[in-house]
Structure 1
Amino acid sequence: MRFSVTILGCNSALPTSERNPTAQVLNVSERFFLVDCGEGTQMQLRKNKIRFTRISHVFISHLHGDHCFGLPGLLSTLGLLGRTADLHIYGPSDTEKVFGPILAFFCRDMKYKVCFHSVDTDKSELVYEDKRVEVFSIPLTHRIPACGYLFREKEAERHIIRESLDFYNIPVKWIPLIKKGLDYVSEDGTVIPNSVLTKPSAKARSYAFCSDTKYSEAIIPVIKDVDLLYHEATFLSDNEGLADMTFHSTARQAAEIAKKAGVKKLILGHYSTRYKNTDLFRKEAAEVFQESYLAEDGMTFDIPNSGRDSEF
């Protein structure tokens, strides 16, 4: 099953002709999650052929315009498309306070319900789960309350070895327990180890989204060992002082977080428009963490189910 991230926008506050403000779509086994919703998001969804109706959960990191100004337009469009299924929006405590009146004024005749869920930006906690995925908040250090999100697949049950079950005449009623990892115990007390009857399932995959934030090692325990990390890199090290003052990070700092957290891959994004050559971000980060990649609008990053390295 697929686990992938499509970049809809990777720039900071000011959009350019090539890059839109922050927005991403995460596909976890055909469950589509919209992460941030900067201006132009619905146009980017169309360009990338992502059906609006597939999105039922939206995660907003913070209430700066370049991360949420696209939300009112998207909500209105969903109403015009005849949506009837509930839409769930997760974000800092003021999210409903900001967007509730907009919905009441512009979208009063919508046939679907918008459900707001307040996220505590001061601690990491489970904010959503279904049978395949869990989503945890990641406290970020920014000028206003902000949080990232960790998407983690749930561990799948072990795979049955049919030939072994037949050989040992395992009763059908035992199969659910064996898939959960239990050994089989026959009526005469004989124990058949689970390792003889099953194979491990594919390793659960994970993705962490961290934007906007100044350098903070406090997030490392939350994102430790994730397969793919998106970490904002608004500035290069030549503007580290400005990054600190505006509560943002440099490409080098993002790489340091990735290295200390032991992540597999790092995606850089949220570039300041003062930089025309984004290759400099990759170069700076790679000096610290080799597996660093640049986000660009329209790019998709896949995490394979097999555990083999993906080709970015």
Structure 2
Amino acid sequence: MKFEVTILGSSAALPTLQRNSTAQFVTCCNRSILIDCGEGTQMQMRKFGVRFQRLDIILISHLHGDHFFGLVGLLSTMRLLGRDAKLTIICPKGLPEIIVQQLEVGHAQLDFDIRFIELTGKEHEVVYEDKSMLIETVPLKHKIPTNGFVIREKPKERKMRKESLEHPLMKVEYIHRLKKGEDIVTESGDVLKSLELTDASKPACSYAYCSDTAYAEKIIPFIKDVTVLYHEATFTEQHRELAKATMHSTAKQAAEIARQANVSRLYLGHLSARYADGKQHEEEAKEVFSNTIYVEDGMSFLVEN
């Protein structure tokens, strides 16, 4: 499965006819991940062809409503569609109680298990890991405890060359070790060198999601060298003081973070409803970091080098 991001919602607190509240769907290493779940997210999933039951993990950044008000409705719909697979929700402390109370008041009994992993928003930590990928948190700078997330592919094994499999000294038990980069000393004392018998796989890629946050250089070590950075850009420079007062970022500030973090590409989102589009955001950001684009609902892009 491709490492791909679909933007389900790219607006700040107030949704518009063009931009829904924040939500993103990410596929990585055969895992389906929803990041944030603003009001109307399940409708956006239907609109853009995202299947509900594919979800393995939901990440909620913080407890401002435009980032989680759609969650209870989504869970209820999953129940109605017959979901029975376990779901992991990684979220701020306190959200499980909110979800349980809403479901109880709405007389909605889920038929599948939810594993909640609660976060404080104060520490960088690995919150999910399997053999192919991991998810880390990035403590952001906002009015309430808020996490960004980095989704990383683990380094991939090298690939055996076809002709190497026909090497006279090759044994089946050597293949896995050679693909891991190990050299083999055979019983006869001969050396099979991994670099001579295998080819490098595609480099592992990474995706960083940082919304909502004021300008914060403290996050740079956690997102250093990521393939793609999504960073909130609620305001343009015209409203820089408003960004400071509300603990959000301007597009130019997001670009400065991208430049210092040496990321490959920057995507801007979480735009205030006062802007018809993100063209000005993009222009201002490109003055600092040229490989920048603003996102729109329904946009999909690959996380690749």
Give the alignment's TM-score, normalised by structure 1: 0.95
The reply on whether 1:259 has 2:259 as its aligned counterpart is yes
User: Residue type of the partner of 2:62?
Assistant: H
2:77 is paired with a residue whose SS is: helix
Shift of 1:122: 1.0
Q: Distance in 2 between matches of 1:100 and 1:121?
A: 21
Matches within 5 A, 1:119-198: 119-198=119-198
Contact kept in structure 1, 2:29 and 2:133, CA below 8 Å: no
In the other structure, the counterpart of 1:310 is none
Question: Cα–Cα, structure 1 residues 186 and 30, in superposed 2: closer, same or farther, change >3 Å?
Answer: closer
2:56 is paired with a residue whose SS is: strand
Q: Distance in 1 between matches of 2:149 and 2:60?
A: 9
Q: Distance in 2 between matches of 1:167 and 1:28?
A: 35
Shift of 1:276: 2.3
In the other structure, the counterpart of 1:111 is 111
In the other structure, the counterpart of 2:17 is 17
Q: Distance in 1 between matches of 2:108 and 2:3?
A: 35
Shift of 1:154: 0.9
User: Residue type of the partner of 2:132?
Assistant: R
User: Residue type of the partner of 1:40?
Assistant: G
The reply on whether 1:232 has 2:209 as its aligned counterpart is no
The reply on whether 1:273 has 2:261 as its aligned counterpart is no
Residue deviations 1:111-142, cap 9 Å, x none? 11222111231111110112221000010010
In the other structure, the counterpart of 1:58 is 58
2:288 is paired with a residue whose SS is: coil
In the other structure, the counterpart of 1:100 is 100
Contact kept in structure 2, 1:230 and 1:266, CA below 8 Å: yes
1:174 is paired with a residue whose SS is: helix
Q: Distance in 1 between matches of 2:88 and 2:100?
A: 13
Q: Identity over the aligned pairs, expressed in percent?
A: 48
Contact kept in structure 1, 2:232 and 2:269, CA below 8 Å: yes
The reply on whether 1:207 has 2:207 as its aligned counterpart is yes
Question: Cα–Cα, structure 1 residues 215 and 240, in superposed 2: closer, same or farther, change >3 Å?
Answer: same
User: Residue type of the partner of 1:25?
Assistant: F
Q: Distance in 2 between matches of 1:148 and 1:269?
A: 14
Q: Give me the CA root mean square deviation.
A: 1.2
1:152 is paired with a residue whose SS is: strand
Shift of 1:108: 4.1
2:252 is paired with a residue whose SS is: helix
In the other structure, the counterpart of 1:284 is 284
Shift of 1:165: 3.6
Shift of 1:56: 1.8
Q: Distance in 2 between matches of 1:276 and 1:139?
A: 30
Contact kept in structure 2, 1:76 and 1:107, CA below 8 Å: no
Residue deviations 1:248-289, cap 9 Å, x none? 000000000000000011010111112224210011101110
1:89 is paired with a residue whose SS is: strand
Shift of 1:167: 2.4
Shift of 1:28: 1.1
| Aligned structure 1 segments of 4 or more residues deviating by more than 3 angstroms | none
User: Residue type of the partner of 2:120?
Assistant: D
Contact kept in structure 1, 2:29 and 2:153, CA below 8 Å: no
In structure 1, stretches of 5+ residues that fail to align are 308-312
User: Residue type of the partner of 1:44?
Assistant: Q
Contact kept in structure 1, 2:39 and 2:70, CA below 8 Å: yes
Q: Distance in 1 between matches of 2:69 and 2:27?
A: 22
In the other structure, the counterpart of 1:82 is 82
Contact kept in structure 2, 1:79 and 1:107, CA below 8 Å: no
Residue deviations 1:62-106, cap 9 Å, x none? 010100000011011011111111111111112112222112332
Residue deviations 1:128-166, cap 9 Å, x none? 112221000010010001001000001111111231242
Residue deviations 1:165-190, cap 9 Å, x none? 42242111111111111101111222
Contact kept in structure 1, 2:2 and 2:28, CA below 8 Å: yes
Q: Which range is displaced more, 55-64 or 162-171?
A: 162-171
In the other structure, the counterpart of 1:4 is 4
In the other structure, the counterpart of 2:244 is 244
Q: Distance in 1 between matches of 2:277 and 2:174?
A: 60
Q: Which range is displaced more, 104-113 or 221-230?
A: 104-113
In the other structure, the counterpart of 2:36 is 36
The reply on whether 1:298 has 2:298 as its aligned counterpart is yes
Residue deviations 1:20-40, cap 9 Å, x none? 010000011442100000011
Residue deviations 1:184-214, cap 9 Å, x none? 1111222222111111111001100000000
Q: Distance in 2 between matches of 1:76 and 1:296?
A: 27
